[in-house]
Structure 1
Amino acid sequence: MVSALIGELPAGWTETNLAEICELTAGAALQESPDGRTTVIKPKNLVGGRITGTFDHVSDEESGRLARYQLKPGDIACVRTGAIGRHASATSEHEGSVFGTGIIRIRPSGDVDARYLDSYLSHPAVLDWLERNAVRSPIPNVSTGVLGTLPVALAPFEVQRSIGRTLHVLNEKVAAHERIARTTAALRDATIPLLFSGTVTIAAEEESPLR
Structure 2
Amino acid sequence: MSKNHEIPLCDLGQVSAGPSGSLLDRLHDGPDGVPVISPPDLTDHHTVDTRRLRRVPAEDRNRLSRFALQAGDILVVRQGALGRLALVEEEHATWFYGSSCLRIRPRREHVLPEYLVSYLSYPPVQRVMLGQSIPGTVPSLNSTILNKLKVTVPPLVRQHAVVEALADVDSRITLQRQMADRLEALRPAIFGELIHTARRT
The TM-score normalised by the length of structure 1 is 0.79
Alignment of 1:143-182 (within 5 A): 143-182=142-181
Quote how far apart the aligned CAs of 1:139 are.
0.3
Alignment of 1:1-211 (within 5 A): 12-28=3-19, 29=21, 30=24, 31-33=26-28, 34-48=30-44, 49-52=46-49, 53-110=51-108, 111-182=110-181, 185=184, 203-204=196-197
Cα displacement string for residues 114-150 of structure 1 (whole angstroms, at most 9, x for unaligned residues): 1111110112221111121001201011001111111
Contact 1:84 1:130 in 2 (8 A): no
> Aligned partners of 1:18, 1:125: CA distance in 2, in Å?
16
Contact 1:39 1:58 in 2 (8 A): yes
RMSD, matched Cα: 2.4
Count of residue correspondences? 189
Of the structure 1 ranges 59-68 and 120-129, higher mean CA displacement relative to structure 2 is found in 59-68
The TM-score normalised by the length of structure 2 is 0.83
Structure with greater helix share of residues: 2
Gaps spanning 5+ residues in structure 1: where? 1-10, 206-211
> Aligned partners of 2:174, 2:52: CA distance in 1, in Å?
17
What secondary structure does 1:71 align onto?
A: coil
Gaps spanning 5+ residues in structure 2: where? none
Quote how far apart the aligned CAs of 1:36 are.
2.5
> Aligned partners of 1:71, 1:183: CA distance in 2, in Å?
36
> Aligned partners of 2:178, 2:62: CA distance in 1, in Å?
35
Cα displacement string for residues 26-54 of structure 1 (whole angstroms, at most 9, x for unaligned residues): 11131213242321111111111221142
Quote how far apart the aligned CAs of 1:24 are.
0.6
Quote how far apart the aligned CAs of 1:201 are.
9.2
> Aligned partners of 2:166, 2:77: CA distance in 1, in Å?
21
What secondary structure does 1:51 align onto?
A: coil
Quote how far apart the aligned CAs of 1:171 are.
2.5
Quote how far apart the aligned CAs of 1:185 are.
4.1
Letter in 2 for 1:169: D
What secondary structure does 1:139 align onto?
A: coil
What secondary structure does 1:148 align onto?
A: helix
> Aligned partners of 1:175, 1:131: CA distance in 2, in Å?
28
